[in-house]
Chains A and B, each alone.
Chain A
Amino acid sequence: MTTAPGATPTIVLVGHGMVGQRFLEALAERGLTATHRVVVLCEEPRPAYDRVALTSYFSGRTPEELSLTDMRFIDDHGIELYVGEPAETIDRGAKTVTARSGRVLGYDVLVLATGSYPFVPPVPRKDAVGCFVYRTIEDLLAIEEYARTKARTGAVVGGGLLGLEAAGALKGLGLTSHIVEFAPRLMPVQVDEGGGAALLRTIEEMGLTVHTGVGTQEIVTDSSGAVTGMRLSDGSELATDLVVFSAGVRPRDQLARDAGLTVGERGGIAVDERCRTVSDPDVFAIGECALAADGRVYGLVAPGYEQAETAAATIAADEASFTGADLSTKLKLLGVDVASFGDAHGTTEDCLDVVYSDARAGLYKKLVVARDGTLLGGVLVGDAEAYGTLRALTGSVPPVSPESLVLPAEAGSGERLGPSALPDEAIVCSCHNVSKGAIRRAVGEHRCTTVPEVKKCTKAGTGCGSCVKVLGRLVDAELAASGVEVDKGLCGCFAQTREELYEIVLALRITAYRDLLDRHGREGARGGEGCETCKPAVGSIIASLAPTIGASGYVLDGEQAALQDTNDHFLANLQRNGSYSVVPRIPGGEIAPEKLIVIGEIARDFGLYTKITGGQRIDMFGARVEQLPLIWSRLVDAGFESGHAYGKALRTVKSCVGSTWCRYGVQDSVRMAIDLELRYRGLRSPHKLKSAVSGCQRECAEARSKDFGVIATASGWNLYVGGNGGAIPRHADLLAQDLSDAELVRLIDRFLMFYIRTADRLERTSTWLERIPGGLDHVRDVVVHDALGICDELEQLMRAHVAHHRDEWAQTVADPEKLARFVSFVNAPDTPDPVVAFVPERDQIKPDLPLLSIGLRPADDVLEGSAPR
């Protein structure tokens, strides 16, 4: 490097996209941000974000959530980041870059990471109003705005990876969508003819119209210059209000050309194996703008990341080189798995294809194999389960026959080749170039015992996520092999997980905790009392399955009463001084004045503290245990039911006011919230369940922070799952869109029952979704596509729950034997507990907390919680 002695050398990065950001991280990891001044010119109005996940903006990811840039990282490393400031010229002689603002930056090392621009075919009127490209967040914002206000139909030019993604997005925006592809099949680069055919069928079934083998000749506009259609090469005209060009990308190399750097014939800044431009040793190019030493311009993020590492290592004078990369891709397009890896098109001499195809099921799988049996590559459409393993095996001879790798499991001979068969060098995560060996070391040497720990330690699985399934299986296998005994048992009494106990209870129709403990508990625990962990957990399982296994659905019946946590046992929430709170159900948060008055009267008569909860209902605090039956008799008489604020059960379904009143509402969110709350009330589950329904995408009900959230669309409902407030907030993920009322309810039925069946004790849907192998995709496969064939059973279980639901407070106040438990003292049932006392605050009461530490206090200076009655 050439720097005046004493001065801090400067690295200037032009372009803050995905690869640029990775380059900054690589600099920091090598300590170069400490020894260099690092300056970044970023053209877009926001710092680097996840372009790969761009489309998820339409399923609710906000631009902030897409961001890849932690401003703390930028600050901590003293990086100067100029947002909205593109580089305009480079003077290689003076070694300066000039930005649009006129800012001139001297450099010692210049790194170009300017990415690509979308190629728009030169058809007449391609710039008409209503024509868009699909590359940046700004593009998406513009498409969304136009689709919402001015379009009903949309067409995408280009049926490749991005084109299909864009078409899916247009459909999601409620447009009738067309795809126009010049090649004779969809995704011509990634899949072969057979794969294209399988893909076509599935995509057409989703209601998109595909036109292959035709080109776009011109854009047709109206007198105002807005798009009304496009003329195709077969002479036909396609009426459309919006056009998205997605016909490939071209490297953004103009800046480099102007500076006299060598570019390839078909574009791309020519670099060597160290990512240094061939023309100037002080200038590097990385990412999509670079023409790599192997003569290719890579349009994927993983090779770009590798180039970023290579450039940083070279600057740090480490050995590194980039000689080429894998073009494997796996994506889920509109819910269809599509993957290709290695030599997908069989271009290697003398290679053979092994093909399995089932047109009816939309399945197509092809492996390319060399004469000696080496796996060279392949294409998977419809089921890409084996992708992770196959990709990693590429280049070696698989331990089982190739046929058995593509046949589906149910075809008999189908073999599920586990990741244990992979060699140590096999790259499991291609986004971060992590080998199986590195993952084994993470478990063996670094003592990681869970997938999240391994992700943190190795970065594997933190890119596109397509390797996470394989990762999970590797971690399990490795733990088992290293003899680490991971006791997955629920507690000291049971060696089984909650999920396993659920299956045992269901299969053997076990209705008593004791039977389960004595027959299936750990040796030493049989015949004992159990413990405070497994009793409520098993009580909850029995309650969820009650109608199906023939147990009583009433949680205080017989032995079940002994299993419940104290709150469930008293059907109220215990407070810090031993008093209880009372929360009647107010479905959807809707309440008539008469009922409000009843609550007010009861609270006044019993001297209770009242508060509106965060769940859109009213909580009354300060009830003594012996008052609960009296309070509830009045509530039940007035038509209230238990709100299960005490249970691991459905809490509230919050609503916004919706289309009935709100000028923006597109569906009746209040009605739906009430329907859902009434349907799932009383459903016992591994943890509490919360829901909300918003009447439009402004989302006033905060549905995306709920276990299952529903947001209205013009044509139905979008269902989101796995949201959470609390300590670790998580936005819910879109499970399915534009559902009818019946479809919505059916999917929620399945989702909840699948969660109840497989979740761990006290595991909210958010953590469950993050934990279970395959995550959201797997859940979608099971509950939307019925991949396990269990949906009938799940629906059946829910129907049984709904049909048998009875309000437990109504049952309790009608049962004198049960009421006998609601006493302060067994030998003095009407004597109030003397440590439950209250003092005034803001016109209401609050617990007399000092009393708890002193035990008793003279009776006259306390305010009794119970007014005379």
Chain B
Amino acid sequence: MTLALETTAVKVRLRPADGWFTACDLGALTPGRGVAALLPDGRQVALFRDRADRVYAVDNRDPFTGAAVLSRGLIGTLGDRPFVASPLLKQRFDLISGECLDDEAVRVAAYEVRTA
């Protein structure tokens, strides 16, 4: 696995378990879109950046289809809840809590994120 080069730019870190994990530079994220990152244990995370440079992290796997694609969805706000809409069947997931806005029985893992 080739890891991205370390630079002095602002980093995006998240906390998948106990420790913090550095995923990428903030510059690798386009405002309004996401990217996928691979965790050391094989899990996948979808990272998003909004227009105010807030960053969010949820599990990348779309629970409705099983495909690892949430990072490729469009983000939006419903009231003041930020969400991502799955690119496959369009269900929306709250980016902070991981709850599915279209089916309360479903949720994805959400992770704490930090930029520094």
A835 contact set on B, CB distance < 8 A: 61, 66-68
Which residues A484-532 have CB closer than 8 A to chain B?
Answer: 492-493, 514, 524-525, 528-532
Contact B50 A828 (CB under 8 A): no
A492–B85 alpha-carbon span in the complex (Å): 15
Considering the complex, give the chain B residue whose CB is closest to the CB of A517.
Answer: B51
Contact B23 A578 (CB under 8 A): no
Distance (Å) between the CB of A57 and the closest chain B CB? 43
A826 touching B28 in the complex, CB below 8 Å, given contacts A528-B77, A576-B88, A835-B68: yes
Query: B116 in the interface, Cβ–Cβ < 8 Å?
Result: no
B92 contact set on A, CB distance < 8 A: 532
Query: A588 in the interface, Cβ–Cβ < 8 Å?
Result: no
Binary contact readout B34-77 vs A (1 if CB under 8 angstroms, 0 otherwise): 01111000101001001100000000010001111100111111
**Neighbour of B42 across the interface among A492, A493, A524, A834, CB < 8 A:** A834
Query: A91 in the interface, Cβ–Cβ < 8 Å?
Result: no
Contact A824 B88 (CB under 8 A): no
Considering the complex, give the chain A residue whose CB is closest to the CB of B92.
Answer: A532
B85 contact set on A, CB distance < 8 A: 531-532
A525–B81 alpha-carbon span in the complex (Å): 11
Query: A811 in the interface, Cβ–Cβ < 8 Å?
Result: no
A825 touching B37 in the complex, CB below 8 Å, given contacts A492-B78, A531-B76: yes
Considering the complex, give the chain A residue whose CB is closest to the CB of B62.
Answer: A578
Distance (Å) between the CB of B41 and the closest chain A CB? 11
Contact A530 B69 (CB under 8 A): no
A836–B3 alpha-carbon span in the complex (Å): 21
Query: B107 in the interface, Cβ–Cβ < 8 Å?
Result: no
A566 touching B72 in the complex, CB below 8 Å, given contacts A531-B78, A825-B38, A827-B37: yes
Contact A825 B36 (CB under 8 A): yes
Query: A561 in the interface, Cβ–Cβ < 8 Å?
Result: yes
A578 contact set on B, CB distance < 8 A: 67-69
A825 contact set on B, CB distance < 8 A: 35-38, 44
B87 contact set on A, CB distance < 8 A: 565-567, 574
A565–B69 alpha-carbon span in the complex (Å): 13
A532 touching B76 in the complex, CB below 8 Å, given contacts A825-B44, A827-B24, A852-B65: yes
Contact A830 B2 (CB under 8 A): yes
Contact B32 A826 (CB under 8 A): no
Contact A829 B4 (CB under 8 A): yes
Query: B1 in the interface, Cβ–Cβ < 8 Å?
Result: yes
A576 contact set on B, CB distance < 8 A: 65, 67, 88
Query: A569 in the interface, Cβ–Cβ < 8 Å?
Result: yes
Which residues B59-116 have CB closer than 8 A to chain A?
Answer: 61, 65-69, 72-80, 82, 85, 87-88, 90, 92
Considering the complex, give the chain A residue whose CB is closest to the CB of B12.
Answer: A826
A437–B108 alpha-carbon span in the complex (Å): 54
A536–B50 alpha-carbon span in the complex (Å): 16
B72 contact set on A, CB distance < 8 A: 566, 569-570, 574
* Most-contacted residue by chain A among B38, B75, B82, B85 (CB, 10 A): B38
B50 contact set on A, CB distance < 8 A: 529
Distance (Å) between the CB of B89 and the closest chain A CB? 10
B75 contact set on A, CB distance < 8 A: 529, 532
A561 contact set on B, CB distance < 8 A: 30, 33
Considering the complex, give the chain A residue whose CB is closest to the CB of B66.
Answer: A852
Query: A831 in the interface, Cβ–Cβ < 8 Å?
Result: yes
**Neighbour of A569 across the interface among B33, B38, B68, B77, CB < 8 A:** B33
A821 contact set on B, CB distance < 8 A: 30, 35
A792–B61 alpha-carbon span in the complex (Å): 50
A570 contact set on B, CB distance < 8 A: 72
Contact A853 B66 (CB under 8 A): yes
Distance (Å) between the CB of A144 and the closest chain B CB? 49
**Neighbour of B77 across the interface among A531, A820, A836, CB < 8 A:** A531
Binary contact readout A557-598 vs B (1 if CB under 8 angstroms, 0 otherwise): 001011101110110001011100000000000000000000
A569 contact set on B, CB distance < 8 A: 33, 72
Contact A536 B74 (CB under 8 A): yes
**Neighbour of A856 across the interface among B3, B42, B51, B74, CB < 8 A:** B42
B35 contact set on A, CB distance < 8 A: 821, 823, 825-826
Considering the complex, give the chain B residue whose CB is closest to the CB of A533.
Answer: B76
Contact A532 B24 (CB under 8 A): no
Binary contact readout A388-427 vs B (1 if CB under 8 angstroms, 0 otherwise): 0000000000000000000000000000000000000000
A535 touching B4 in the complex, CB below 8 Å, given contacts A529-B82, A825-B38, A826-B35: no
Query: A833 in the interface, Cβ–Cβ < 8 Å?
Result: yes
Distance (Å) between the CB of B77 and the closest chain A CB? 4
Distance (Å) between the CB of B62 and the closest chain A CB? 9
Contact B67 A577 (CB under 8 A): yes
Distance (Å) between the CB of B6 and the closest chain A CB? 11
**Neighbour of A529 across the interface among B61, B65, B77, CB < 8 A:** B77
A529–B2 alpha-carbon span in the complex (Å): 33
A828 contact set on B, CB distance < 8 A: 1-3, 37-38
* Most-contacted residue by chain A among B3, B42, B68, B88 (CB, 10 A): B68
Distance (Å) between the CB of B4 and the closest chain A CB? 5
Contact B88 A562 (CB under 8 A): no
B24 contact set on A, CB distance < 8 A: 826-827
A562 contact set on B, CB distance < 8 A: 30-33
A535 contact set on B, CB distance < 8 A: 32, 74, 76
Binary contact readout B1-22 vs A (1 if CB under 8 angstroms, 0 otherwise): 1111000000000000000000
Contact B88 A827 (CB under 8 A): no
A565–B33 alpha-carbon span in the complex (Å): 10
Contact B74 A566 (CB under 8 A): yes
B65 contact set on A, CB distance < 8 A: 576, 852
* Most-contacted residue by chain A among B3, B4, B75, B76 (CB, 10 A): B76
A826 touching B47 in the complex, CB below 8 Å, given contacts A529-B76, A536-B74, A565-B87: yes
Considering the complex, give the chain A residue whose CB is closest to the CB of B82.
Answer: A529
A574–B66 alpha-carbon span in the complex (Å): 14
Contact A524 B79 (CB under 8 A): yes
Which residues A750-792 have CB closer than 8 A to chain B?
Answer: none
B31 contact set on A, CB distance < 8 A: 559, 562
Considering the complex, give the chain A residue whose CB is closest to the CB of B67.
Answer: A578
Binary contact readout A816-851 vs B (1 if CB under 8 angstroms, 0 otherwise): 000011011111111101111000000000000001
Binary contact readout A321-341 vs B (1 if CB under 8 angstroms, 0 otherwise): 000000000000000000000
Contact B73 A529 (CB under 8 A): no
A532–B92 alpha-carbon span in the complex (Å): 9
Contact A826 B42 (CB under 8 A): no
A528–B77 alpha-carbon span in the complex (Å): 6
Considering the complex, give the chain A residue whose CB is closest to the CB of B31.
Answer: A562
A578–B64 alpha-carbon span in the complex (Å): 13
A820–B30 alpha-carbon span in the complex (Å): 12
**Neighbour of B23 across the interface among A565, A827, A856, CB < 8 A:** A827
B79 contact set on A, CB distance < 8 A: 524
Going nearest first, the 10 A-B pairs with the smallest beta carbon separation are A852-B66, A562-B32, A531-B76, A566-B87, A532-B85, A578-B67, A528-B77, A826-B35, A532-B74, A825-B38
- Chain A residues proximal to chain B, CB less than 8 Å: 492-493, 514, 524-525, 528-532, 535-536, 559, 561-563, 565-567, 569-570, 574, 576-578, 820-821, 823-831, 833-836, 851-853, 855-856
Instruction: List 11 other contacts, CB 8 Å, given A528-B76, A532-B74, A562-B32.
Output: A529-B50, A529-B51, A559-B31, A559-B32, A566-B87, A569-B33, A569-B72, A823-B35, A825-B38, A852-B66, A855-B66
25 CB < 8 A contacts A-B:
A493-B76, A524-B79, A529-B76, A530-B77, A531-B74, A532-B76, A532-B85, A532-B92, A535-B32, A565-B74, A565-B87, A569-B33, A576-B65, A825-B36, A825-B44, A826-B24, A826-B36, A826-B37, A826-B47, A830-B1, A833-B44, A835-B66, A835-B67, A836-B68, A851-B66
- Chain B residues proximal to chain A, CB less than 8 Å: 1-4, 23-24, 28-33, 35-38, 42, 44, 47, 50-51, 61, 65-69, 72-80, 82, 85, 87-88, 90, 92
